[in-house]
C-alpha cells in the first residue's frame, strides 16, 4: 500500500484532452478505407486503459489485438530483456499496425516488439505511447504519437501499476521510493 499522499502529475481532464489530440493526429494520418482496418496492438497490461480510450476517438475501422511483453516485474527499475509472452494475432501480413504502449522509458520494449512483429510482414508499423520519459532513452526509436513528456519519476494510474496495483486510478500520480510499503 501507499502511505502519505499521492501527487497527481496528470489529471483525468488532461488525460482526456491528450487522448483526443492523439486520436485526431491518427485520424489525419491514416486513410479511412473500410477494407483496410488499422490494426491496433495494445501492449498489456499497462496500455489497456489508454487503448480503450484511444480507439473510441478513431473514425476508421480498427482491428484490436493485444500483446503481452515482459517488462518491469515488481520493481521500478527497467529490465532490458524483453520477451513476448502472449499475442492475440496469427497474421499481420500487409496490415497497417499501430503499436500502443502506456509509457516509454528506455525505449527497449517498443523497439523489441517492433522488431518482433516484423516477422509477420506488416505493411507499415507506427508507434504510439501515451507518456514518454525522453531523458531515459537508451535506444534509438522514433515514436510517431506521444501524448505527454514527463520527468524521470515513477508513475501509477491510468493503467500503470506498482507491483500490480493502482492501475484503476483515473489520474496519473507520482510514486517515489519510500512511498510504498
When asked if residue 108 is in the footprint of Mg ion (CB under 5 A), the reply is no
Looking only at the bridges linking them, the beta strands covering 145-149 and 154-156 are: unpaired
Tally of CB atoms within 10 A around 113:
20
> In terms of CB distance, is 30 or 71 closer to Mg ion?
71
In three-state secondary structure terms, 172 is strand
Residue 42 binding: pick among ligand 5GP, Mg ion, none (C-beta 5-8 Å cut-off by kind): none
Query: In the set 42, 51, 71, 129, which binds Mg ion (CB under 5 A)?
Result: 71
Cα distances from 60 to residues 42, 49, 158, in angstroms, run 17, 20, 24
Residue 105 binding: pick among Mg ion, ligand 5GP, none (C-beta 5-8 Å cut-off by kind): ligand 5GP
Q: Give the nearest distance from C-beta 129 to ligand 5GP in angstroms.
A: 8
Which member of 105, 132, 171, 179 is catalytic?
105
Q: Give the nearest distance from C-beta 129 to Mg ion in angstroms.
A: 9
Give me the sheet containing 154-156, strands edge to edge: 7-10, 172-175, 154-156
When asked if residue 46 is in the footprint of Mg ion (CB under 5 A), the reply is yes
Looking only at the bridges linking them, the beta strands covering 7-10 and 172-175 are: antiparallel
Separation between Cα atoms, residue 36 and residue 32, nearest integer Å: 8
> In terms of CB distance, is 51 or 71 closer to Mg ion?
71
Give the binding site for ligand 5GP (CB under 6 A). Answer: 46, 71-72, 78, 101-109, 154-156, 160-161
Under rule CB under 5 A, how many of the chain's residues touch Mg ion?
2
Give catalytic status of residue 31 as yes or no.
no
> In terms of CB distance, is 23 or 46 closer to Mg ion?
46
In three-state secondary structure terms, 154 is strand
Give 50-63 as a DSSP string: HHHHHHTT--S-EE
Could you list the active site residues?
A: 105
Amino acid at each position: 500500500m501507499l502511505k502519505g499522499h499521492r501527487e497527481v502529475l496528470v489529471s483525468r481532464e488532461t488525460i482526456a484532452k491528450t487522448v483526443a489530440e492523439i486520436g485526431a493526429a491518427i485520424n489525419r494520418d491514416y486513410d479511412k478505407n473500410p477494407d483496410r482496418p488499422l490494426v491496433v496492438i495494445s501492449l498489456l497490461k499497462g496500455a489497456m486503459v489508454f487503448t480503450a480510450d484511444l480507439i473510441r476517438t478513431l473514425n476508421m475501422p480498427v482491428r484490436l489485438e493485444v500483446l503481452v511483453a515482459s517488462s518491469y516485474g515488481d520493481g521500478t527499475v527497467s529490465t532490458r530483456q524483453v520477451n513476448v509472452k502472449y499475442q492475440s494475432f496469427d497474421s499481420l501480413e500487409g496490415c497497417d499496425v499501430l503499436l500502443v504502449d502506456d509509457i516509454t522509458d528506455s525505449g527497449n520494449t517498443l523497439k523489441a516488439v517492433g522488431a518482433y512483429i516484423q516477422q509477420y510482414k506488416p505493411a507499415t508499423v507506427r508507434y504510439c505511447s501515451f507518456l514518454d520519459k525522453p531523458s531515459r532513452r537508451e535506444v534509438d526509436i522514433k515514436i510517431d504519437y506521444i501524448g505527454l513528456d514527463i520527468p524521470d519519476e515513477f508513475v501509477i494510474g491510468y493503467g500503470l501499476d506498482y507491483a500490480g496495483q493502482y492501475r484503476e486510478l483515473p489520474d496519473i500520480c507520482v510514486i517515489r521510493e519510500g512511498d510504498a510499503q
